[in-house]
Structures are given as structure tokens and as C-alpha cells.
Structure 1
Amino acid sequence: MANLATSIEDQLLKLQQRGMILDMEENKIKEVLLDIGYYRLGFYWHPFEIDESHNFQENTRFSNVLSLYYLDVDLRYLLIKYINRLELNFRTNLIYWTSIKYTENSIWYADSTIVSEDYLKDIKSHYNTNFKTKNLQIKHHHVKYPEDKFAPCWKTFEYYTFGSIVKVYENLLDQDLRKHISLKYNVKKPHIFQNFLNTLVFVRNSCAHSGVIYDLHINEGVSQLPDVKFNNSNSHNLDAAIRILLYLMESISSNRKDNLKKSIEDLFNSFSENEVVKKIIEDKLGYIY
């Protein structure tokens, strides 16, 4: 039965049989199920399930499930906005400081004396014919300079993902250069800065692909700094990643950092009167009111 499609009417009946209180107008619930989907909403009623048969705990309300869904959506849009701002700033710093050090080599990212051999083994997998033809400025460069194997870093990196940019930083051989860049974000140790970047790439990708993030688990854990305290010392939840994002944003713009902090607090506080959702925010996401 699990592999059979069910009608909206059957979905409503199944939810009721499992103990969910349908505390909204039936037409509105049907509209939600047709808009968001029964399967996707399942990620948001999962915290209310009490057994493998997917029965719900007492007083589980459809309205709370929907509130949790909208919390997730709003938080996802908010985080990706500020992570994208960090990505832009980091890309600029990586290009500038590395290019200033190697002023005669605009394609230093393809030089085995500057980046690791392991990185260079993979570079052709993404800087290939498709990359050269689908990205306008890269295409123009190779038309104008057909003998060039690669375009300058300031052109190329505009078309790299955040994860790809972070990978370049990870594979820089000059540790003093890595530290010089990390210090721009008030992080003394490059390996800790690397951990922060990897964490935010993971969060960013989860947000960009409409992942469920209220209970996001960061397997590696977020490295700690003396100035950053995690609630309940938990470095694996989304709140830890948010605190690191706030810390790094401070080095870019204190106003942006303050705006992000206030936006997050306003979002969470909008659920402060809903004890059910509030508890999930505290237990799953790691935020403490």
C-alpha cells in the first residue's frame, strides 16, 4: 500500500485515523495538500509521530504542522540571503589576496606550485567544454584567446559555486596565505575557518535545494571559538551554524550582522506563543528563547 498513490480524501482520512486533529477548514487543508504535498508535509509532522505506524501523539494539530513548515520556509530564505552575501565577500577576498601574491599568474588556481595536486586532478571535471561554452564571459575569453587553457581567476570564479570556491581555499599550499585570508574574518586558524566555510556550504546547499532545515544535523560539527558559545554546547544543530554565520558577518558589516540577528529573533519570536512549535525550535533547531 505504501507505493500506491492516494486521493486527497484518502489522505485526510489517513491523517484522522492516525490521530491528527484537522483544525482548519477542510477545503483549506485540501488546498495545502495539493500545494505542498502529503509526502513533503510528512517531514513536518514527523516530530509528532509516536510509532513506526506513523500514529500521532495526542493533540497533534494540522495547524501546528503547517506552522512548522512555514517557519522552515522563512528561515531557509533568510539564511540563504546572508550566506550568499558571505559567499560574495569570500570569493572577492580569495581572488584578491591570492592574485596579489601571485601577480604574474592570473590562473594560479591551475598551478601545481600554488594548489595541491589532488585539486588539479579534478579541475578538468568542471572546467571542461561545457563550462567554457555555457558561461558567457568564459566563452568570450576563449574565443578571444583560443590558446588559453583557462581564464583568469576573477572571470572563472564568478561561475564557481560556493562549494567550489571553498575547495580552492582548502587546497592552497601556502598556509600563511590561508591564514592571511582567514584573519580577514577574525579567525586565526585556517582549519577552523575551513570548518566554518564547509558548514555554511552545507547549510546553503540544503536551503538552495529546498531541504528541510529545522532539524538539520551537521555531522562534522561546528568548530568553536572562545567568542562563540553554542546552546547546550551542541555544535551539530542549525543554531550552531547560525552563530558562526553571525560571527563571520561581523567582519563584513556589523549592520548586516545586526539585521540578520534581529530577523532571526523576530522569526522565532513570532512562534513564542505557540508552545508546540516553540519546543521544536528549542529541541530540534537548538535556539533558546
Structure 2
Amino acid sequence: MLSFFTYEKILFIDELLNKEVQSDFIFKKSSDKSLMKDFQDSDSMITELEKKQNTPLTFSDEERQIAVEFFKYHNYYSFGIYRKLLPRREEKTYSFTECLTLYQFDTYLRENINKFTGVVELMFRATLVQQLCEAYKGDLHKGEFYLDYEIYNSESNANEVLEAFNKRMLSSKSDSAIHHIKNKEGRIPFWVIVEEATFGELYHFLTVLKSDYLEQWVANSFNKQYRKHFSSWIRTTNFMRNTCAHYSRIYGRYFSGSPPKLLKEDLKKAGIKANANQTLFANMLAIKNIIKFNPLVIDEWNDFLEDIEVKISENESLIKLYRMGYPENWRECLTISISDQLTIPAYQPF
């Protein structure tokens, strides 16, 4: 079994973490054969947007002043994609304000989805502690069940998870991590590990547990009928959380890296096929199906959907449902109804 913490190992790994690692860089200097684009100030950015062959932007004097200030604090490279997401129309021109409206709508989506993925992350962390510690019947203390190789589906996966937890704790600067390493000699309960590990690390931990632990976690925290879907919903939420946290675009994007498994009833209601699961709509379905188990945020989620509908109706010439994979009845599909809440089972002991 992997030895967890010793004072010598702490010093050794801490030294490694603080060393500069030499590596071969991918970066290359520009040359006559491969020139880099010239640096652009705000005025030249505006001029380039006006002269674009496809979907150029127009600027009034007032818009030009706004754009100069906007590009001081917003990356031109990330803003430019929204011009390409504007609907095609015969005159082929849009104003800077119209493009900015699409940019701001995407910002609104990202900020709110980030908030709800945060809710799911907290639900995930709490239920892992509550249900897995409760489920453990082995020889170790419930708080250290994660050290028992018998809960994992393979020894190699157990080692991988424990090494990740080990590195995370040693690199942490939190009072709790330092206290448990120095004063508790590395005797760290799972509920402390959960607070230090990343969302992704905890998801990986979940996926390498023996299937009965995974199934019992779903059954007692959520609903056993979702046992084949829930892991993918967590993965999708983790991906969306990272996407939003890094201010990446949400509108008009396909999420091929983390497509969720969709419920048959959701597919039927939305009138979409199972392979249509790389859209914002599919990802929001996954988040909805977790959020509905948390009664404290259901009203807030439904209010968010209402606000989206208002923004779409106010800008229907710019914001298109197909860019998000939304069916016509998208709000009905994503709304958490009373019937959804009634299907949530009561807690069942192991």
C-alpha cells in the first residue's frame, strides 16, 4: 500500500514542486517565410473591423469612442469571433453595438452558468463526503476510507488517485492542510481532502471506485434511475465550470469534449436525437437534472431561464436559438417543474 505522508517525503516533494523544470518550448520566432501579424492599437482594430470582407462592422462617432475604451480592457482576438456569429443578412453589415450586444449576451450566459455549475460542484463535494463515508464498511476509519485499496477498481487507479491527493495537499497553503500535515502527521480525513482537491480530481476519484460505491452514491444522493447518466452529467458540469471560469465563449459553440448522456424522456420532449449532445442546450439539460435535487436554487434557475427568454425576444434579430442548440420549446425542457421535484425519492439507507 502507498505510504501517505512522512516528514522526509514532504520536504522532498516540496523541493521538487519549487524547482524550475527545463523543457523544450514550442515557441518559434517569426521569419520572412512565416510572418506574425502586426500589433494593433485600438484605432487599427476598429479600422480592420470596418474593412472586413465578410460581415464588416460599422461605427458611429459615439460607437467609435465606446470601442476605443472597450478594447483597452477586452481582447480584440476574443471579441472578433462574435462578428462571425451574427446572422447573415442581405446588406451584410452590422453595427459595433449589435456585435457588442451578442458579446454581452454571451457574458450573461457564462456568468450565470458559472454560478450554477458552482452550485453543482458544492453538491458534488458534500454528497461524496456524506454518502461514501456512510457507505464504507471496511477496516479503516470512515474518514480515511479513501486509503483502502479495496474500494478502487484497480491498484494502479488507486495509486494514481492517492498520488494526486498527496500532491494537492502538499502544495496547498490552506490552514487546514498545513495543520493536518504538521500537527496530525498526515492523518487527513476525507472531508478535508474534498475541500482541497479540484473538481476534476474528485470526478476522477469517483470514476475509479468500484461500481457499487458509484451506484450507491447516485441512489442515496440523487436517484438510482440516473446511475448510467450521472457520471457524465458531473463531467459535463466540470467542463462547463472550467470553460466559464476561463471566460471562454459559450454562445455558438459545440462542446465536443464533454457530451452528456441524455435521458430518453428529455430527448423525446425536446425532439432531438441522442447524438445532439454537444450543444449548450444539452449541457444545460445535464446541469438542470442535477440542480433539481437542490430545492434552495430551483427558483433561481427558473428565473435565469425567464431572463434568457426576455433577452432573446428583445434581440431576436441577433440571438438565434440554433446557435445554442435550443429547440423551440427549450424553456419548457429546461424549467424545473413541480412534477420534476415530485420524482425525487426520499433518502434510502444502505
TM-score past 0.5 threshold? yes
Aligned to 2:4: none
Q: Per-residue displacement from partner, 1:75-132 (whole Å, max 9, x unpaired)?
A: 1111111111121122111111111122624222232111243433323245228635
For 2:322, the aligned partner's letter is D
**Structure 2 residue aligned with 1:177:** 213
1:189 Cα deviation (Å)? 4.5
Alignment match, 1:26:
64
CA distance in 1, matches of 2:132, 2:144: 10
| Contact kept? 1:199, 1:218, Cα under 8 Å | no
1:265 aligns with 2:303: no
Contact persistence 1:91–1:157 (CA under 8 A)? yes
Q: Aligned pair in 2 of structure 1 residues 169, 287: CA closer, same or farther (>3 Å)?
A: same
Which residue is equivalent to 1:198? 235
**Cα distance in 2, alignment partners of residues 130 and 96 from structure 1:** 21
The equivalent residue for 1:137 is 176
- The number of residues matched between the two structures is 278
Report what 1:76 is aligned to.
Answer: 110
Q: Which residue of 1 aligns with 2:149?
A: 112
Q: Percent identity?
A: 22
TM-score for the superposition, normalised by structure 1: 0.86
**Distance of aligned partners of 1:132 and 1:217 in 2 relative to their CA distance in 1, 3 Å threshold:** same
1:262 aligns to what SS in structure 2? helix
Distance in 1, matches of 2:297 and 2:279, equals: 23
- The alpha carbon displacement at 1:202 in A equals 0.6
Judged with a 3 Å threshold, the aligned counterparts in structure 2 of structure 1 residues 89 and 68 are, in CA distance, closer, same or farther, namely same
Match of residue 91 from structure 1? 125
**Aligned 8 A contact 1:182 1:190 in 2:** yes
Amino acid at match of 2:120: L
> Is the contact between residue 216 and residue 285 of structure 1 (CA under 8 Å) also seen in structure 2?
yes
Q: Which residue of 1 aligns with 2:245?
A: 208
Q: Is the 8 A contact 1:109 1:168 kept in 2?
A: no
Question: Partner of 2:167 in structure 1?
Answer: 128
RMSD after superposition:
2.5
**Stretches of 4+ aligned residues off by more than 3 angstroms:** 229-233
| Aligned counterpart, 2:22 | none
Cα drift, residue 268 of structure 1: 3.7
2:199 is the alignment partner of 1:162 = yes
Which residue does the alignment assign to 2:135?
A: 101
Aligned to 1:11: 45
Q: Distance in 1 between matches of 2:156 and 2:103?
A: 41
For residue 203 of structure 1, report the CA deviation from its aligned partner: 0.6
Structure 1, unpaired ranges of 5+:
51-55
Distance 1:216 1:110, change over 3 A: farther
Distance (Å, rounded) in 1 between the aligned partners of 2:77 and 2:171: 39
| Residue 35, structure 1, aligned to residue 88, structure 2 | no
Distance 1:216 1:136, change over 3 A: farther
> 1:187 offset after TM fit, Å?
4.8
Counterpart residue identity of residue 262, structure 2: Q
Deviations 1:25-83 (A, max 9, x none): 32111111222121121122232499xxxxx9702221121111111111111111111
TM-score (norm 2): 0.72
| Aligned equivalent of 1:47, options 72, 82, 85 | 85
